[in-house]
């Protein structure tokens, strides 16, 4: 077998043989055959008690599976949190060195291991550098070829080369396979090159869900999330205000890519104008004077929703349902307001007295039934700073004279 050119079916080697970088055929050792695997399998991350008891600081150890899907780079993030809430993290990236797509030509430029039925569908394989190690069947289509252009193929135990088409199961016909298994016979399955992806479908009975995505829930699409980040099975994506959202159930896109959120947990996931809770100060009548405080679900400031301010007023409002009644009010009013006649919130609330006394009908004594003379010539006096009115009032001798009457409002 030569180093370059198409590998014909008649030239296939037994599994225990391989080609070195000089193009020579050689026998593989058991160690070499066992060396290449796609992933290591274990479960969980645990604390090493023995090392911790020996004085080492919090040693955690573990192993896990990294599945080879040819397309996705996986990221595993380790986060440590201390008792004060401070965190530190480290992210490891895992990717597939093979990078074989569903269909089309494939070029290999670094070491690649095939441990499950795989190959090139509807294209040629170009082995430019590195070693293609096979511990399972590697297939290529009739009329296509495998070209060695500087690389080599090493066939280990269970490995083989086969000229065949490749098929995968896709129960809901959404272009995502039910699992990572590949077959060299149809069995009612679609050709691999017709699929959208080689990543296994996370819901192969639901055509609009097919991939796991790290997301946060954001139903109102305001970039403030409802729950903590999670990895769930979703489908189509779209860009809204520069952020990528995913679809769980058509037609809405309610899941935001984790890391693109703007703020903390959304206090109202159905209103895009309201995001988070904070302490605001009620000002229902909009007169700039507040009453107490309230923790509310708000937007970017306490002015959203309306009726609140971000800071308390110097003096509290005594009638937050009446914009005319407020501390410092200088206008005069002839009818009661939200706090009676206490328009300036200074605590005086006496209404004007009855000014319809009349003259002498009973020998100089005031008689409320028969006296008919009226003294109603009232006016505001500028000589008082607050709350007084001058009126002409009848005395019990029938004489009108001025008297002070409280009507609270300041000039």
- How many domains, the chain? 4
Cα(322)–Cα(284) distance, rounded to whole angstroms? Answer: 9
Cα(391)–Cα(318) distance, rounded to whole angstroms? Answer: 28
163 inside domain: yes
62 inside domain: no
Cα(392)–Cα(238) distance, rounded to whole angstroms? Answer: 78
Domain C-terminal end among 268, 288, 309 = 309
User: Which pLDDT score, from 0 to 100, does residue 285 have?
Assistant: 86
Higher-confidence position of 82 and 37: 82
- State mean pLDDT over 399-403: 49
Residues 104 and 24 in one domain: yes
Mean pLDDT of the chain: 73
Residues 101 and 190 in one domain: yes
Residues 135 and 280 in one domain: no
CB count in 10 Å sphere of residue 204: 19
Residues 180 and 107 in one domain: yes
Residues 230 and 297 in one domain: no
293: confidence class by pLDDT, cuts 50, 70, 90 = confident
Report the DSSP beta bridge partners of residue 160. 137
267 inside domain: no
pLDDT at position 22 over 50: no
In angstroms, how far is CA 86 from the centroid of its own chain?
22
27 inside domain: yes
Q: What phi, psi does 19 have (nearest 5°)?
A: -110, 130
Residues 181 and 112 in one domain: yes
Cα(28)–Cα(399) distance, rounded to whole angstroms? Answer: 131
Q: What is the share, in percent, of the chain residues with pLDDT greater than 70?
A: 61
pLDDT at position 376 over 60: no
Which sign, positive or negative, has the C-alpha torsion 363, 364, 367, 373? positive
Q: Are 228 and 192 in contact (CB under 8 A)?
A: no
Residues 297 and 363 in one domain: no
Of 86-95, 207-216, 381-390, the range with the lowest mean pLDDT is 381-390
226: confidence class by pLDDT, cuts 50, 70, 90 = confident
72: confidence class by pLDDT, cuts 50, 70, 90 = low
Residues 31 and 106 in one domain: yes
88 inside domain: no
User: Which pLDDT score, from 0 to 100, does residue 77 have?
Assistant: 72
Q: Helix or strand or coil: residue 186? A: coil
Of 103-107, 188-192, 211-215, the range with the lowest mean pLDDT is 211-215
Place of tokens 């004007």: 352
pTM of the full structure: 0.51
Q: Which two tokens stand for residue 160?
A: 């083989």
User: Which pLDDT score, from 0 to 100, does residue 387 have?
Assistant: 42
Which sign, positive or negative, has the C-alpha torsion 47, 53, 59, 62? negative
Characterize the bridge pairing of strands 74-81 and 87-94. Answer: antiparallel
Residues 102 and 232 in one domain: no
396: confidence class by pLDDT, cuts 50, 70, 90 = very low
Which sign, positive or negative, has the C-alpha torsion 81, 87, 88, 94? positive
pLDDT at position 183 over 50: yes
75 inside domain: no
User: Which pLDDT score, from 0 to 100, does residue 136 have?
Assistant: 94
Q: Find the domain containing 130 and state its range.
A: 9-36+97-194
29-43, 276-290, 325-339: range with highest mean pLDDT: 276-290
Helix (H) or strand (E) holding 113: strand 112-114
Residues 175 and 115 in one domain: yes
Cα(278)–Cα(295) distance, rounded to whole angstroms? Answer: 5
Helix (H) or strand (E) holding 143: none
pLDDT at position 12 over 50: no
Domain C-terminal end among 167, 194, 221 = 194
User: Which pLDDT score, from 0 to 100, does residue 219 have?
Assistant: 85
Residues 283 and 364 in one domain: no
| Buried-exposed string 70-99: b where 16+ CB fall within 10 A, e elsewhere | bebeeeeeeeeeeeeeeeeeeeeeeebebe
pLDDT at position 403 over 60: no
- State mean pLDDT over 140-164: 95
Farthest CA pair distance, the chain: 145
Contacts 24+ apart (CB under 8 A), 331-338: 331/409, 332/380, 332/407, 332/409, 332/411, 333/409, 338/285
65 inside domain: no
Pick from 70, 76, 72, 91: which is nearest to 44 by CA? 76
34: confidence class by pLDDT, cuts 50, 70, 90 = very low
Angle at 406 between CA 400 and CA 410, to 5 degrees: 120
Cα(1)–Cα(280) distance, rounded to whole angstroms? Answer: 80
Cα(18)–Cα(153) distance, rounded to whole angstroms? Answer: 6
Residues 130 and 19 in one domain: yes
Radius of gyration of the chain (CA): 42
391 inside domain: yes
Of 57-66, 230-239, 355-364, the range with the lowest mean pLDDT is 355-364
User: Which pLDDT score, from 0 to 100, does residue 137 have?
Assistant: 96
Pick from 12, 14, 16: which is nearest to 29 by CA? 16
């Amino acid at each position: 077998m030569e180093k370059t050119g198409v590998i014909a079916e008649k030239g296939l080697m037994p599994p225990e043989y391989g080609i070195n970088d000089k193009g020579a055929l050689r026998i593989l050792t058991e160690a070499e055959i066992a060396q290449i695997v796609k992933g290591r399998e274990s479960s969980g991350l645990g604390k090493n008690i023995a090392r911790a008891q020996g004085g080492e600081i919090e040693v955690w150890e573990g192993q896990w599976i990294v599945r080879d899907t040819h397309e996705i780079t996986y990221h595993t993030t380790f986060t440590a949190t201390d008792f004060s809430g401070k965190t530190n993290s480290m992210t490891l990236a895992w990717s597939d060195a093979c990078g074989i797509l569903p269909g089309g030509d494939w070029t290999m430029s670094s070491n690649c291991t095939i441990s499950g039925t795989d190959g090139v569908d509807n294209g040629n394989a170009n082995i430019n550098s590195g070693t293609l190690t096979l511990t399972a069947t590697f297939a290529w289509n009739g009329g296509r070829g495998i070209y060695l252009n500087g690389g080599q193929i090493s066939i280990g135990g269970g490995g083989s080369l086969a000229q065949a088409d490749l098929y995968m199961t896709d129960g809901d016909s959404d272009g995502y396979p039910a699992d990572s298994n590949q077959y060299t016979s149809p069995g009612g399955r679609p050709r691999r090159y017709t699929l959208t992806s080689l990543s296994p479908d996370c819901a192969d009975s639901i055509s609009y869900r097919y991939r796991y995505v790290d997301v946060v829930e954001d139903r109102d699409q305001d970039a403030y999330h409802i729950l903590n980040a999670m990895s769930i099975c979703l489908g189509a994506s779209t860009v809204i205000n520069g952020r990528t959202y995913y679809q769980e159930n058509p037609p809405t896109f309610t899941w935001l890519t984790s890391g693109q959120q703007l703020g903390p947990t959304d206090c109202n996931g159905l209103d895009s104008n309201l995001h988070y809770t904070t302490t605001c100060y009620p000002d229902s009548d909009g007169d700039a004077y507040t009453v107490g405080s309230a923790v509310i679900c708000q937007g970017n400031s306490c002015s959203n929703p309306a009726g609140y301010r971000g800071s308390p007023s110097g003096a509290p409002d005594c009638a937050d349902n009446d914009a005319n009644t407020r501390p410092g009010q200088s206008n005069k009013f002839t009818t009661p307001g939200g706090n009676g006649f206490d328009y300036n919130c200074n605590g005086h609330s006496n209404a004007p007295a009855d000014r319809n006394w009349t003259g002498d009908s009973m020998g100089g004594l005031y008689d409320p039934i028969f006296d008919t003379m009226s003294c109603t010539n009232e006016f505001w006096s500028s000589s008082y700073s607050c709350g007084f009115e001058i009126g002409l009032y009848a005395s019990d001798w029938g004489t009108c004279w001025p008297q002070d009457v409280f009507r609270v409002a300041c000039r």
